[in-house]
A and B are shown apart, each in its own frame.
Chain A
């Protein structure tokens, strides 16, 4: 942390010599193909846009089937949605199809929740009526919003500060939303969650933002790995046949509940088939009016490919890539989803690619072009949700994580040539999605690892580096009671930002040859108690259960004097456990409402062994079902605060707890972040009473901080982790499975910091928490990276679904071949110590400061946040300030 006299111009933390001279640029990199570049330029111009086609047709069909079995009704409603989506194909595309009829398109799903647009119905409707002529210029001003439509203007209505809706569709949005009032997952869940004893405490917990959101109706699926095996192996017609056989086998039998699942799957598959054919028809139409021969030919090839794939398994690598994209989209369109990870796609598609290469059907340049096109399609994905979710959690990203490396079924290296090309495409076409992660294992070849380094060091923020053995250990421990074994644990992958997810080896047969391909085999692995703010709970402990921002009582008075560290720690655990207790129960009810009202059909039919069992994932049809967790934010601020109180209050008796309370209320004599508009510790402005708090502030800053290999603070981290990673097993999920620990911040450290008073570690009121869970608080890691690694590995990371560490490195440090080797050694150093994950921003922080001041000049600047890469201009200021403030390493 800085000294209290630091000036704004020095508002960057450095480890090593402060850089001088011009801003250091990142290493130069090869450019994408002209085709991918054109798509990226179109993306930069495109705004997030929503349309009403899908929700209109879904709702219309749903109403027509009043009284039908809910699972069948759901399948038919989804079918109607897919069948009526307008196909849009953009010039130059090799991979086609989108979520809706816009480039960055999405749509509301009022069957999940209609609350956030109905709540503002009056103002929205008024805006719709009063809108005048379109003034494109004002809306297209990128400013700090990138593709976000932050304000209504002309014939465009802004929803949730991000999405644009045409004024012509506003009344139908409201009409359709009203139809779901008291019938949506949100409303039904809310009706029944109130039956939970102590429910009122949950409401206050949510209002105080100790907990960020309910997962049951906001993002009920995602943070998981999709499984592409079934469509690749059987094609759509083959899957429909499986469903029809299932119906015939189960009709009239005692377990005939299965029939409704098969019926629903069959309906949706027919809807997807029609959706694909609609696109084929559009491609043919475009070919008919196209003057350019090459483009005309490409449209005809698209039409041919889509007609084939509407029924059959893929013939080529290109076909296979198109088909997995279709199913990825199809799942995204059945629910509000973030973090639907494609998983180990390079290994899934390798048999097709290898065969095409052998036959001469494709070459490496063509492959790269296709992979770049794939990157653009994933980058287009938007998720329509409330402002709190899209801004406060997702930062506009949707976390589609593609993993590379790891091990094969028999324990050999799984890295392959296609994965090398996926990395190269990630270098050439640097876009936020899919983000890449390397499942680091000692068996991976050096050449592959160096390719990963080449990608990381150009500043893409990916690949993240993830410990394969630690991940496997977690998977084995968490799913062992569901028959997970060592061989199957090797099929794991990352779902979403960083959620370890179980996988299975699927027997893909191609030309009579068997290939074991990995794919996800569990539903969402990160639903449950999301997110819990640890510093805010500590605030409640210090103030006897009160939210000091609002004055509202959150928890019952603990009545403790807190005159010892142990009592403080025990009281923290007491409040934490209370929060988990009530949130687990209410969350289970919401997810129960979800599985009854809007059960997963498409994702279910893809996941082993749902089709075999005839059960959707909500009925535990999936092979693995221990998938609910407790997710936390602000770990390092909690640990640093406990260390500060331990030293200054209980050990050295420099201050009483009451003096700390007063200092916290006075924000250590500084203006709050809300007053200054700056969300990092820097650029803060003292108040007139600053002198009163100088000593306690100084001692708080000087208290030992996590990340410096100091035993007394690392022991606190270890105590926390050992307790937290085990306490989840006291609670049972909807599927009667124990909960587990999840420790990634995503973007919640911004808004959750914003509502939290100053903390005893010297962090000021309203400022952003440390990101991730193992990242040092900005500026506090003074002893170099290896000291940080020692601190971070003071506990066993395989006890948790994840841990997360971000580092920022100046580009000059990793320059050239020598820099790459040094960089890889650094990563190896952490992972060999047992660290689970580390990711990097390779950037000169002065560039970020400049980009904040002049965003229009930096439309394409990418940064790593916490498990995802995003365009700088699409990030909120809370997160921007935090990324700027992170310690920048000038030497390794």
Chain B
């Protein structure tokens, strides 16, 4: 799987087009390929409760409708599907 900057916990979104790296402070794009500092951001698509159904949509076994790119760091049910 190719990780993108938008999936990284060091990605700071400025708008839908660009963001900043929290570590390096440089301007980056969300779809840039992640660098060596990459660490996964908690998102639905990385959660063991998430079941993909179609492009950009899926189900949460805890709650029904869900979408893969949502930040799940504040979700009480979040569990990494693969801790690595």
| A residues adjacent to B (C-beta < 8 A) | 42, 45-50, 52-53, 56, 60, 63-64, 83-86, 88, 90-91, 101-104, 128-129, 133-134, 136, 139-140, 149, 155-156, 164-172, 175-176, 278, 286, 289
Contacts and interface: CB of A to CB of B under 8 A. Distances in A.
B57 A156 contact: no
Contact of A139 (B17, B65, B70, B74): B17
**Residue among B20, B31, B74 facing the most chain A CB atoms (10 A cut-off):** B74
B31 A171 contact: no
A128 B67 CA distance: 15
Contact of A171 (B12, B29, B56): B56
A165 B16 contact: yes
A136 B16 CA distance: 10
B9 to A, nearest CB: 8
A63 B73 CA distance: 22
Nearest to B72: A84
B26 to A, nearest CB: 11
B67 A169 contact: yes
A50 B18 CA distance: 13
B33 interface: no
Interface in B34-65: 54-57, 63-65
Contact of A167 (B29, B56, B70): B56
Contact of B56 (A133, A140, A168): A168
Nearest to B12: A88
A101 B57 contact: no
B74 A175 contact: no
B7 to A, nearest CB: 11
Interface footprint category on B: 20 to 34
B16 A52 contact: no
Contacts of B12: 88, 90
B69 interface: yes
A102 B15 contact: yes
Contacts, number: 101
A84 B55 CA distance: 23
Given A91-B25, A166-B30, A46 B67 contact: no
B16 A156 contact: yes
Interface of B: 10, 12-18, 20, 22-23, 25, 29-31, 54-57, 63-65, 67-71, 73-75
Given A168-B68, A169-B67, A134 B29 contact: yes
10 nearest A-B residue pairs (beta carbon): A164-B16, A172-B67, A49-B15, A168-B69, A47-B15, A49-B16, A171-B56, A86-B71, A84-B74, A171-B57
A56 B56 contact: no
A164 B14 CA distance: 12
Contacts of A88: 12-13
Given A90-B12, A278-B74, A60 B65 contact: yes
A102 B11 CA distance: 12
Contact of A86 (B15, B31, B67, B74): B74
A165 B29 CA distance: 15
Contacts of A167: 56
B39 to A, nearest CB: 10
**Residue among A103, A140, A165 facing the most chain B CB atoms (10 A cut-off):** A103
22 contacts: A42-B14, A49-B17, A50-B16, A63-B64, A86-B71, A88-B12, A90-B20, A101-B71, A102-B15, A134-B17, A134-B29, A134-B30, A134-B31, A136-B17, A139-B17, A140-B17, A164-B16, A166-B30, A169-B69, A171-B57, A175-B57, A176-B65
Contacts of B71: 53, 86, 101
B57 A172 contact: yes
A102 B57 contact: no
B69 A83 contact: no
Contact of A53 (B18, B30, B70): B70
A175 B65 contact: yes
A88 B15 CA distance: 11
Contacts of B16: 47, 49-50, 102, 149, 155-156, 164-166
**Residue among A104, A166, A286 facing the most chain B CB atoms (10 A cut-off):** A166
Given A149-B16, A155-B30, A172-B67, 11 more contacts: A47-B16, A50-B16, A83-B74, A84-B75, A86-B73, A90-B20, A134-B29, A134-B31, A155-B16, A156-B17, A169-B67
A52 B67 contact: yes
Contact of A56 (B20, B25, B67): B67
A171 B63 CA distance: 17
A167 B57 CA distance: 12
Given A86-B74, A134-B31, A46 B65 contact: no
A103 B14 contact: yes
A164 B70 contact: no
Contacts of B15: 46-49, 102-104, 164
A46 B74 contact: no
A136 B19 CA distance: 12
A53 B54 CA distance: 19
A149 B16 CA distance: 10
A85 B74 CA distance: 8
A53 B64 CA distance: 15
Nearest to A103: B14
Contacts of A52: 67, 70
Contacts of A168: 56, 67-69
A166 B69 contact: yes
A88 B14 CA distance: 9
Contacts of A53: 70-71
B68 to A, nearest CB: 7
A104 B73 CA distance: 22
Contacts of B73: 86
A289 B67 contact: no
A460 B56 CA distance: 44
A274 to B, nearest CB: 8
Contacts of B69: 166, 168-169
B19 to A, nearest CB: 9
B14 to A, nearest CB: 5
B2 to A, nearest CB: 14
Given A47-B17, A86-B73, A102-B13, A171 B65 contact: no
**Residue among B16, B17, B18, B55 facing the most chain A CB atoms (10 A cut-off):** B16
Nearest to A147: B15
**Residue among B15, B64, B67, B69 facing the most chain A CB atoms (10 A cut-off):** B15
A161 B34 CA distance: 31
A426 to B, nearest CB: 25
Nearest to B71: A86
A485 to B, nearest CB: 47
A45 B20 contact: no
A128 B20 CA distance: 25
Contacts of A134: 17, 29-31
Nearest to A86: B71
A607 B65 CA distance: 36
A478 B31 CA distance: 56
A103 B27 CA distance: 14
A129 B56 CA distance: 10
B78 to A, nearest CB: 11
Nearest to B54: A171
A90 B22 CA distance: 9
A175 to B, nearest CB: 6
A802 to B, nearest CB: 35
B14 A102 contact: yes
A88 B73 CA distance: 13
Contacts of B18: 45, 136, 140
B65 to A, nearest CB: 6
Contacts of B67: 52, 56, 168-169, 171-172
A49 B6 CA distance: 15
Contacts of A164: 15-17
A156 B69 CA distance: 14
Contacts of B57: 171-172, 175
A91 B22 CA distance: 9
Nearest to A84: B74
Given A102-B13, A103-B14, A286 B22 contact: yes
A63 B65 CA distance: 11
